[in-house]
Amino acid sequence: MILKILTVAGLATFEIYAAIPTGFAMGLSPWIIFFASAVGGLTGVFVSAFLGDKIRAFAAKYKKPKVKEVMEVKTDTLAHRIWNKFGIIGLGFFGTFAVGAPISIAVGVGLNASLHKLVFWCCMGVIARCVVFTLTGYFGMKLF
């Protein structure tokens, strides 16, 4: 039972879309699935927000240097459109639904957003996402 809960939480750290169906496939209670995916999703938010620079520096240490090229920054991505339309609340809350919390935080940091506000809204997005998808999975399973 503990291994199943840790599996759901571990999957939710990276992607909640995979964690919740896995919990239902393992036969866990919807309440356990919700709490495990919420804890895993919130862990992913805090890891990407506060350890992102250290992880990037560690990866850069072993990465071969590239020849300097002129890089074009893509501004037509979904995360950029959300940022331009809704600001930090949209990127944190709606971006978590659309592209996931770690990507929303990475884009927000790239756009010089306030990290504390962004983390707060990403946490709200993770909780809302877990509620919506757990309820959808529960009532979807009731149909069968």
What confidence tens digit (pLDDT) does each residue in 18-28 have?
999 999 999 99
Candidate ranges 78-82, 106-110, 115-119; pick with highest mean pLDDT: 115-119
Q: How many domains does the chain have?
A: 1
Q: pLDDT > 70: what percent of the chain?
A: 88
Distance between CA atoms of 88 and 95, rounded to whole angstroms?
10
Identify whether 68 is part of a domain.
Answer: no
| End-to-end C-alpha distance for the chain, whole angstroms | 24
Place of tokens 């306030």: 114
Q: 56 lies in which domain range?
A: 2-63+73-143
- Output the pLDDT for position 112: 81
Asked whether residue 90 is assigned to any structural domain, the reply reads: yes
Cα separations (Å) of 54 from 87, 108, 116? 26, 17, 18
In a domain, 82, yes or no: yes
Confidence of residue 108 (pLDDT cuts 50, 70, 90): confident
Mean per-residue pLDDT, 113-120: 89
pLDDT of residue 69: 56
What pLDDT is recorded for position 51? 82
Mean pLDDT of the 86-90 span: 87
| 37 inside domain | yes
Q: What is the pTM of this model?
A: 0.80
Whether 49 maps to a domain, the answer reads: yes
Could you tell me which residue, 126 or 66, shows the higher pLDDT?
126
